[in-house]
């Protein structure tokens, strides 16, 4: 310990003005690491605002293409597509239809903004009439998502996205073995170059509430706790999920939601250094701030920049956020 006059160490020295604060800063947000989720549905010139997510829209393919262009001009790292099909059925067949809505949107985007990185969410909840993330089957009088039957269809959906031009596929259904099934499907179909971003540690979270309005994907019966992770499970379970996905060939991994799961992000960063680690700042995280900001209770811009900085500081190298364009604009200003 230092003797003599107190205090020898004054941490405020490095906080005294903007220049020194900037010099010692370790976390900097960049548009290149941000991914903007977008919702696409059939139509023309359609911009239907999602009431629980002010500023976010269901867009038709032509409008998505415009969004993709502006995302590209802002230097965003990518866009993540969710499709809202016109028809739902028991197996979610619209999801692997050659002329499905996501497939159509990719074509429109690639024409308007060829350089834009397109990631597709690979799941069934938007496409099945029951709203579960896979096909159902009955076992011992209990209806449940049939894991292995779903794997085949997941591979089919991912291949269809890759054929349409998706740059990265992102399975979000938390089925066991989904990464290896998709990897095998892609490789067989000649898409060995398409990376998989796995929603590896995805929790059964109430923060997805607004998204389910946006994507029209709420389960009609029951919930998703039979496949998404229990929020109170030990962090070790999340590490096992990630480990398995990497062993199955995942190129990138994701933790979701982001803010309430910073501990999981940190653990994943420490345990799997060198693996691109995405965190999904989900719909509920967005809507909470929007609602508070509308009331004048929070300052949106500073709260968002602080939150995303925290997510990155915890260890995320990629952040999926509905604020991606806003942030890019704020960082330029």
Is residue 121 near ligand PBG by the rule CB under 6 A?
Answer: yes
Q: Does 208 bind ligand PBG (CB under 6 A)?
A: yes
Of residues 158-197, those binding ligand PBG (CB under 6 A)? 172
In the chain, the DSSP E strands lie at: 34-41, 47-49, 57-59, 78-84, 118-122, 136-139, 142-145, 168-171, 197-202, 252-256, 277-281, 318-321
Residue 217 near residue 131, CB atoms below 8 Å: yes
Contact between 283 and ligand PBG by CB under 6 A: the answer reads yes
Question: 3-state DSSP call for residue 281?
Answer: strand
User: Per rule CB under 6 A, is residue 241 in the interface with ligand PBG?
Assistant: no
What CA–CA distance (Å, rounded) separates 309 from 320?
13
Phi and psi dihedrals of 264, rounded to 5? -70, -40
Kindly state the smallest distance separating residue 88's Cβ from ligand PBG, in Å. 13
| Cβ neighbours of 47 (radius 10 Å) | 12
Q: Which of 88, 256, 290, 325 is catalytic?
A: 256
Q: Which is nearer to ligand PBG, 53 or 164 (CB)?
A: 53
DSSP codes joined into one string, 184-233: HHHHHTT-TT--BEEEEEEB--GGGHHHHHHTT---SSS-STTTSBPTTS
123 binds ligand PBG (CB under 6 A): yes
Looking up tokens 């962090």 gives 235
- Asked if 282 interacts with ligand PBG (CB under 6 A), we say yes
> Between residues 172 and 198, which has the closer beta carbon with respect to ligand PBG?
172
Nearer to ligand PBG, 112 or 167 (CB): 167
Q: How many residues bind ligand PBG (CB under 6 A)?
A: 10
Contact call for residue 125 and ligand PBG (CB under 6 A): yes
Question: What separation in angstroms does the CA of 192 have from each of 168, 183, 184, 185, 263?
Answer: 11, 8, 9, 9, 33
Tokens representing residue 151 in the block: 């794997």
Q: Does residue 104 bind ligand PBG (CB under 6 A)? A: no
Does 211 help bind ligand PBG (rule: CB under 6 A)?
Answer: yes
Q: How far is the CB of 230 from ligand PBG (least distance, A)?
A: 14
Contact 82, 240 (CB under 8 A): no
Q: Which of 88, 156, 202, 325 is catalytic?
A: 202
**Residue 294 Cβ vs ligand PBG, minimum distance, rounded to whole Å:** 19
Q: Which is nearer to ligand PBG, 64 or 125 (CB)?
A: 125
Q: Which is nearer to ligand PBG, 83 or 112 (CB)?
A: 83
Nearest to 197 by CA among 257, 132, 265, 245: 245
96 binds ligand PBG (CB under 6 A): no
Contact criterion met (CB below 8 Å) for 75 and 32: yes
**Residue 120: closest CA among 42, 199, 176, 180:** 199
d(CA 169, CA 178) in angstroms, rounded, equals: 12
Least Å distance, CB 85 to ligand PBG, is 13
Q: Is the dihedral of CA 191, 244, 318, 131 positive or negative?
A: positive
Helix, strand or coil for residue 318?
strand
* CB nearer to ligand PBG: pick between 211 and 323: 211
| 79 near ligand PBG, rule: CB under 6 A | no
| Min separation Cβ 68 and ligand PBG, Å | 19
Query: Whose CB is nearest to ligand PBG?
Result: 211
Residue 212 or 301: the one with the smaller Cβ distance to ligand PBG is 212
Active site residue 202: yes
Task: Judge whether 290 counts as a catalytic residue.
Answer: no
Binding footprint of ligand PBG on the chain (CB under 6 A): 121, 123, 125, 172, 208, 211-212, 224, 282-283
Catalytic positions? 202, 256
């Amino acid at each position: 310990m230092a003797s003599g006059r107190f205090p020898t160490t004054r941490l405020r020295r490095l906080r005294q003005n903007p220049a020194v604060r900037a010099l010692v800063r370790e976390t900097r947000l960049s548009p290149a690491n941000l991914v903007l989720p977008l919702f696409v549905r059939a139509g023309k010139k359609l911009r239907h605002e999602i009431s629980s997510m002010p500023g976010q829209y269901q867009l038709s393919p032509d409008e998505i293409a415009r969004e993709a262009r502006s995302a590209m001009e802002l230097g965003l790292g990518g866009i993540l597509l969710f499709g809202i099909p016109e028809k739902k059925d028991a197996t979610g067949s619209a999801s692997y239809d050659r002329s499905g809505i996501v497939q159509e949107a990719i074509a429109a985007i690639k024409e308007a903004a060829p350089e834009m990185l397109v990631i597709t969410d690979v799941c069934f909840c938007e496409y099945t009439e029951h709203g579960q993330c896979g096909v159902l089957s009955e076992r011992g009088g209990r209806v449940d998502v049939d894991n292995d039957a779903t794997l085949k269809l997941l591979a089919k959906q991912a291949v269809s996205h890759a054929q349409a031009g998706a740059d990265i596929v992102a399975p979000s259904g938390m089925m066991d073995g989904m990464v290896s099934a998709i990897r095998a499907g892609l490789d067989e179909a000649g898409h060995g170059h398409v990376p998989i971003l796995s929603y590896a540690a995805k929790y059964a979270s109430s923060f997805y509430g607004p998204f389910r309005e946006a994507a029209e994907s709420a389960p009609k019966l029951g919930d998703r706790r039979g496949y998404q992770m229990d929020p109170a499970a030990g962090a070790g379970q999340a590490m096992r999920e990630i480990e398995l996905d990497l062993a199955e060939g995942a190129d990138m991994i994701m933790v979701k939601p982001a803010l309430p799961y910073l501990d999981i992000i940190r653990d994943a960063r420490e345990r799997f250094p060198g693996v691109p680690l995405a965190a999904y700042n989900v719909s509920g995280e967005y809507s909470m701030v929007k609602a508070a900001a509308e009331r004048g209770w929070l300052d949106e811009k500073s709260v968002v920049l602080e939150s995303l900085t925290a997510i990155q500081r915890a260890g995320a190298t990629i952040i999926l956020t509905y604020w991606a364009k806003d942030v890019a604009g704020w960082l330029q200003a």
